[in-house]
């Protein structure tokens, strides 16, 4: 068995052990090699000098690829082209080409032509069809892609392909302050299976994906329809359960690749019989999602909004997001102010049918603030202040309407967030 047990993984037939690192102390050696994948990151000067900003990922022939993209109607050129290439190639993808510093969004036909030009250049050098290359971009919206800089950087990236996972995690960063990478090795009937993933994102984060990029790889063998099903379920409980500011991006995506090089192949029946792989994948991607919240622009607080006792999932999520995205709640969090009235007011405007506020309870961690819709008799301001002063805060609401429960992760809203986004294009 392997080391680094994570609390999030349920014990099923055996203990699953994850190599989960502290998000601020990731080392290259902590990230496990995925057989059938090579990655590289180089400095192309897309927007800034002396920073990794161009990433190439090579995928072995025969690998399966699943993906989800932004639901923003103003989706960027690379999103449109990636969707087309996935269809045109029949899923036979060989390379991912990622740049930061420029989103290539809101750029019309020229944006599509530029993204295609970059893909064609890489395809020609690698000897693969242009449809076998998926482009991804993140950065400033509305500026033309510097194709010449990207094309100039591709040969260097191709010549340095290897197990450069940490560099790749750094190479996809924009306003992120630290790389986000996770890795796991699990035992499947005596054979190791590896999952390694990276992500970026710090602002413009909202469900239906967000301004995030995430690339997750495993050496397990999984047919594409099942891989797509797995990815959708994983994303719904991770990247689609986080919000920083309520803004959905034009460029976000999450890609899951299965190379099959471990010799362990999963069918739907296999996964139904043992949830170990699915649990490990879910836990890893969930940690990547949480890393985005931990690194949210200007954030000082990691906030869990836990809605219990809902009539169904939908109303739990309504309440969770109205709390998580309330500027008044988020600024109170930033100030460590246990202003429970703001939370109660947010719940009241979530639009729940015939909500009886007289049954609602609210806790900050272990401290009951509201019971039966009013200030708890046991509550003392000092207790609430102590909870709000913590770097990690749990807001727990019981609606007393049913048995549904949903959790959303968010951050506070600080002056630093305003400063970062006010000067983003400068």
Q: Is the pLDDT confidence value at 40 over 80? A: yes
DSSP state of 240: G
Neighbour count for residue 272 (Cβ, 10 Å): 9
Distance CA 317, CA 23 (A): 27
Q: What are phi and psi of 417, to 5 degrees?
A: -60, -45
Distance CA 180, CA 406 (A): 25
Joined together, the tokens standing for residue 224 give 């594409």
Joined together, the tokens standing for residue 235 give 């994303």
Q: Is the pLDDT confidence value at 38 over 90? A: yes
The pLDDT assigned to 203 comes to 59
pLDDT tens digits for 204-250?
555 444 458 999 999 999 999 999 999 999 999 999 899 877 666 67
Please report the domains of the chain, with CATH numbers, ordered by start residue: 18-293 (3.60.70.12), 302-422 (3.10.20.340)
CA 58 to chain centre: 21
Joined together, the tokens standing for residue 105 give 């969004």
> pLDDT: is 378 or 273 the higher one?
378
> pLDDT: is 23 or 167 the higher one?
167
Q: In what order do the strands lie in the sheet with 133-140?
A: 37-42, 54-59, 95-102, 133-140
Which residues are the active-site residues? 211
The pLDDT assigned to 422 comes to 72
Joined together, the tokens standing for residue 134 give 């998926």
Joined together, the tokens standing for residue 417 give 């967030």
- Residue holding tokens 């900003």? 53
Closest CA to 31 of 182, 254, 191, 223: 182
Distance CA 253, CA 290 (A): 16
pTM of the model: 0.88
Distance CA 30, CA 198 (A): 13
34, 194 Cβ separation under 8 angstroms: yes
> pLDDT: is 41 or 177 the higher one?
41
Distance CA 263, CA 261 (A): 5
Q: Is the pLDDT confidence value at 9 over 50? A: no
Closest CA to 396 of 328, 309, 331: 309
pLDDT tens digits for 295-328?
877 678 899 999 999 999 999 999 999 999 998 9
Percent of residues, the chain, with pLDDT higher than 70: 89
Beta strands 367-371 and 361-364 are: antiparallel
Distance CA 51, CA 175 (A): 12
Distance CA 152, CA 148 (A): 6
Report H helices in 143-223.
147-159, 165-171
Distance CA 135, CA 85 (A): 9
The pLDDT assigned to 22 comes to 42
Distance CA 353, CA 143 (A): 45
DSSP state of 305: E
Distance CA 355, CA 351 (A): 8
Please report how the helices 224-236 and 276-294 are oriented relative to each other, as an axis angle in degrees rounded to 10.
Answer: 40
* Model confidence band, residue 140 (pLDDT cutoffs 50, 70, 90): confident
């Amino acid at each position: 068995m392997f080391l680094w047990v994570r609390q999030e993984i349920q014990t099923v037939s055996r203990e699953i052990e994850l190599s989960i690192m502290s998000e601020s102390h990731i080392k290259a050696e902590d990230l496990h090699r995925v057989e059938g994948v090579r990655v590289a990151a180089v400095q192309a000067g897309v927007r800034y000098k002396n920073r990794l900003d161009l990433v190439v990922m090579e995928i072995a022939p025969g690998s399966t690829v699943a993906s989800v993209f932004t639901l923003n109607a103003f989706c960027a050129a690379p999103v449109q082209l990636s969707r087309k290439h996935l269809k045109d190639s029949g899923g036979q993808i060989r390379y991912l080409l990622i740049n930061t510093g420029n989103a290539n969004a809101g750029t019309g036909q020229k944006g599509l032509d530029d993204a295609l030009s970059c893909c064609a250049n890489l395809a020609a050098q690698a000897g693969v069809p242009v449809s076998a290359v998926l482009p991804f971009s993140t950065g400033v919206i509305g500026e033309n892609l510097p194709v010449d800089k990207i094309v100039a950087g591709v040969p260097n990236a191709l010549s340095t392909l290897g197990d450069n996972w940490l560099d790749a995690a750094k190479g996809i960063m924009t306003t992120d302050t630290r790389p986000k990478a996770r890795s796991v090795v699990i035992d499947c009937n005596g054979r190791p299976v590896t999952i390694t993933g990276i992500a970026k994102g710090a602002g413009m984060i909202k469900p239906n994906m967000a301004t995030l990029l995430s690339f997750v790889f495993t050496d397990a063998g999984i047919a594409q329809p099942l891989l797509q099903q797995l990815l959708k379920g994983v994303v719904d409980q991770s990247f689609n359960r986080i919000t920083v500011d309520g803004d959905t991006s034009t460029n976000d995506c999450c890609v899951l690749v299965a190379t099959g090089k471990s010799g362990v192949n999963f069918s739907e029946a296999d996964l139904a019989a043992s949830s170990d792989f699915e649990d490990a994948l879910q836990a890893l991607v969930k940690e990547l999602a949480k890393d985005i919240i931990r690194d949210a622009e200007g954030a000082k607080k990691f906030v869990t909004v836990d809605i219990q006792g809902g009539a169904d999932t939908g109303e739990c999520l309504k309440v969770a997001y109205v709390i998580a995205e309330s500027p008044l709640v988020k600024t109170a969090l930033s100030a460590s102010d246990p202003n429970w009235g703001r939370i109660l007011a947010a719940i009241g405007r979530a639009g729940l049918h015939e909500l009886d506020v007289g049954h609602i309870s609210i806790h900050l961690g272990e401290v009951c603030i509201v019971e039966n819709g009013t200030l708890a008799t046991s509550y003392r301001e000092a207790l609430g202040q102590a909870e709000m002063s913590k770097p990690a805060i749990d807001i727990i609401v019981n609606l007393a309407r049913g048995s549904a429960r949903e959790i959303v992760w968010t951050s506070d809203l600080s002056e630093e967030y305003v400063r970062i986004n006010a000067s983003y294009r400068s």
